[in-house]
A and B are shown apart, each in its own frame.
Chain A
Amino acid sequence: MFLQNLITKVTEQFSDSILDTTEFRGETVLHIKGECVLEVLEVLKSEGFHFLADLTAVDNLEMGGFERYSVVYHLLNHGNGERLVVKAYVPENNPNLPSVESLWKTADWQEREVYDLFGITFDGHPNLIRIMNPDDFKGHPLRKDYPRIGKGERKDFPIVERNIGTKIGRSES
């Protein structure tokens, strides 16, 4: 009941930026436009969803959806145990949306991860640099059009030879 009331209230307040509300396996999913994510999450946080359990992204290349990418926020209300999933859609030509680091400090590294692997940028993030791939890595490998075996980056290393004993032929026996 709490969740339904909240959804109704938020849908009325942001009627032009809420795209859809769906339910999957008992979890309510709120589909919204990317540019208004900070305002919507600010309201949800003040209404009891104090905890950002997870922040990740999905590439909807062949799955359909409102836009190519969706950034997914998993919220948890510690007061009554309710959970809510917010999906914020960003277009392919300009994958950019506001950062929620000002609401939850934990979004700092998770938004860096989304930036590193999907190439989605976050406005207002204090330090938006790669977190998992090497700093000089090119591309965003979790996009569905990135080849699984990469673009030759795993073959691009100098070969370290033996300093002594090169003639032993240790591999013979």
Chain B
Amino acid sequence: MDRREIKSNFLTTTVESAVNWARKNSLWPMPFGTACCGVELMAVLAARSDIARFGAEAIRFSPRQSDLLIVAGRITIKMMPVLQRIYQQMPEPKWVISMGACASSGGVFDTYSVIQGIDQFIPVDIYIPGCPPRPEGILDGLIKLQKLIEKEKFSDYSLPNSS
């Protein structure tokens, strides 16, 4: 193998950036649609917006097969334990998108039964504003999440909690 061949057949990188590159371009979302945001989320999957362009088209309805939780809609006090259980069932590494005004802040539903922002009780990486957000907004949130994943460092990971 001469030098020119080596140059055109190899590329060097770090394991970290190779893994992050693979992770960010192959997100498997788990939709948690409880309201109209869930219906709007379907529009992002369809041909016009086509979330497949960003590698996140493999929607799984099982938390054990997905690494991106999209909370789309208002979460009530009866639903919050379910959402927490689903978050805990997802394998690491995992990310959470809070889609729309209701999931992020309770929206207009300032009542006894509606959680005023899911980030009080589960970790959230990206908030998407809107009521409901446009498909472009959801794609923008996804791209922002990809940029976060790109920058993750293995050395920053703490050891998993045993609990």
What is A's interface to B at a CB cutoff of 8 Å? 132-134, 137, 141, 146-151, 153-155, 157-168, 170-171, 173
Contacts and interface: CB of A to CB of B under 8 A. Distances in A.
B104 to A, nearest CB: 13
B64 interface: no
A80 B137 CA distance: 53
Size band of the interface chain B makes with A: 20 to 34
Contacts, number: 79
Contacts of B151: 173
Interface of B: 77-78, 80-81, 84, 87-88, 92-93, 110-116, 120-123, 125, 147-148, 151-153, 156-161
Contact of A133 (B78, B114, B148): B78
Contact of A160 (B77, B114, B121, B152): B121
26 contacts: A146-B112, A148-B110, A148-B112, A150-B111, A151-B112, A153-B77, A154-B115, A154-B116, A157-B77, A157-B84, A157-B115, A157-B121, A159-B121, A160-B84, A160-B123, A161-B123, A161-B161, A163-B160, A164-B159, A165-B157, A165-B158, A167-B156, A168-B153, A170-B125, A170-B148, A173-B147
Contacts of B153: 168
B92 A164 contact: yes
A9 to B, nearest CB: 44
Main secondary structure of the interface of B (DSSP, over half): loop
Contact of B158 (A151, A153, A164): A164
A164 B93 contact: yes
A148 B87 CA distance: 29
Contacts of B80: 157
B113 A157 contact: no
A138 to B, nearest CB: 11
B38 to A, nearest CB: 20
Contacts of B157: 164-165, 167-168
B121 to A, nearest CB: 5
